[in-house]
């Protein structure tokens, strides 16, 4: 596959963003608790991953691994992770953390739309704000399906479409719908930032099913009212009323 047209811009931007994701990445590597997204929602409350003992010996792939902390958590559970990411600076930070925390696993420079592994190489695929918002779902979800063994699971966290509808080009999410829902997928917030992908729920369900997935869970995350975060597009006052993030848990059909 030729490189997607949006990728060069995304990669350049993430080369810059990687500086501000270094310390949060290190904190996540150091954490003994698995958490999700910008509100640090606890896995022990959400149960997106299911029984954690099942990950021992599992072959996992993280699509858009960034600093690699999600794969490090899976490694601590006994999994055999692989991380893939297109941004060399993010992978360099991941390698530093591997040394610092003594957890090593393969890190591949590449992109989720075309992953250099044979069909059915993995038991589990995950994306926490990696491919899930930076890659076209019509390219990366079929690729995830190809990579998974029958019965394998894909779990991904992304922005909730409601939050995307209510967020202006710059500034905090509002209680007002600001863009069209129908036809939404490729989203450009402004000329300074790379494009993102935010497919609404109906087409996402169709796509997942067309790729051979059954949907097991859609977890809509509610923020705690008092949490202060470092991001400038959403606050807890909004995200405790409406979902700003969601986790999809889907399983590849056996036949
Ligand atoms: C918010 S970070 C991922 C967070 C990750 N959980 C971490 O540990 O840092 C987003 C990542 O997606 C990566 N990315 C962007 N486009 C991608 C693509 N097409 N395929 C895979 N990863 C991509 C970026 O390079 C960046 O490292």
Question: CA–CA separation, 60 vs 81, rounded Å?
Answer: 5
**Mean predicted lDDT score pLDDT of the chain:** 96
Instruction: Give residue 19 CA to ligand 1 midpoint distance, Å.
Output: 14
pLDDT in tens, 175-230: 999 999 999 999 999 888 999 999 999 999 999 999 999 999 999 999 988 887 77
CA separation for the pair 237, 26 (Å, rounded):
28
Q: How far is the CA of 255 from the centre of ligand 1 (A)?
A: 31
Determine the CATH number of domain 7-159+185-223+246-252: 3.40.50.150
The closest-lying atom of ligand 1 relative to the alpha carbon of residue 111 is 20
Q: 59-80 burial, b if ≥16 CB within 10 A, otherwise e?
A: bbbbbbbbbbbbbbbbbebebb
- Site to probe by mutation for ligand 1, drawn from 37, 60, 61, 64 as the one with most ligand atoms within 8 Å of Cβ, is 64
Q: What is the pLDDT of residue 1?
A: 79
Q: What is the pLDDT of residues 145-167, one digit of tens each?
A: 999 999 999 999 999 999 999 99
Q: Whose CA is nearest to atom 9 of ligand 1?
A: 66
- pLDDT at residue number 224: 87
- Residue 255 pLDDT greater than 80, yes or no: no
Question: Looking at ligand 1, which atom is closest to the CA of residue 21?
Answer: 9
Contact 111, 84 (CB under 8 A): yes
Cα–ligand 1 centroid distance for 17 (angstroms): 11
* Structural contact between residues 157 and 129, judged by C-beta atoms closer than 8 angstroms: yes
Domain spans, the chain: 7-159+185-223+246-252
The response to whether residue 128 sits with its C-beta less than 6 Å from ligand 1 reads: yes
What pLDDT is recorded for position 231? 81
Residues 162, 7, 112, 127, CA torsion sign: negative
């Amino acid at each position: 596959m030729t490189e997607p047209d949006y990728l060069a811009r995304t990669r350049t931007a993430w080369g810059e963003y990687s500086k501000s994701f270094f310390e949060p990445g290190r904190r996540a590597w150091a954490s003994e608790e698995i958490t999700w997204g910008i509100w640090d929602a606890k896995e022990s409350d959400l149960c997106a991953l299911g029984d954690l003992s099942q990950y021992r010996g599992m072959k996992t792939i993280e699509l858009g691994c960034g600093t690699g902390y999600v794969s490090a958590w899976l490694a601590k559970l006994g999994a055999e992770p692989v991380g893939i990411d297109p941004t060399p600076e993010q992978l360099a930070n991941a390698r530093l953390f591997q040394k610092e925390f003594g957890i090593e696993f393969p890190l591949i420079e590449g992109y989720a739309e075309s992953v250099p592994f044979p069909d059915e190489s993995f038991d589990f695929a995950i994306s926490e704000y990696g491919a899930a918002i930076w890659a076209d779902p019509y390219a990366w979800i079929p690729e995830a399906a190809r990579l998974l063994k029958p019965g394998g699971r894909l779990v991904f966290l992304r922005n909730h479409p409601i939050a995307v509808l209510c967020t202006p080009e710059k500034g905090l999410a509002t209680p007002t719908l600001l863009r069209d829902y129908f036809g939404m997928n490729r989203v450009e917030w402004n000329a300074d930032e790379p494009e993102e992908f935010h497919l609404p729920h109906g087409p996402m369900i169709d796509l997942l099913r067309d790729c051979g997935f059954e949907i097991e869970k859609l977890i809509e995350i509610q923020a705690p009212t008092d949490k202060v975060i470092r991001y400038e597009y959403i606050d807890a006052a909004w995200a405790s009323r409406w979902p700003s993030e969601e986790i999809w848990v889907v399983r590849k059909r056996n036949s």
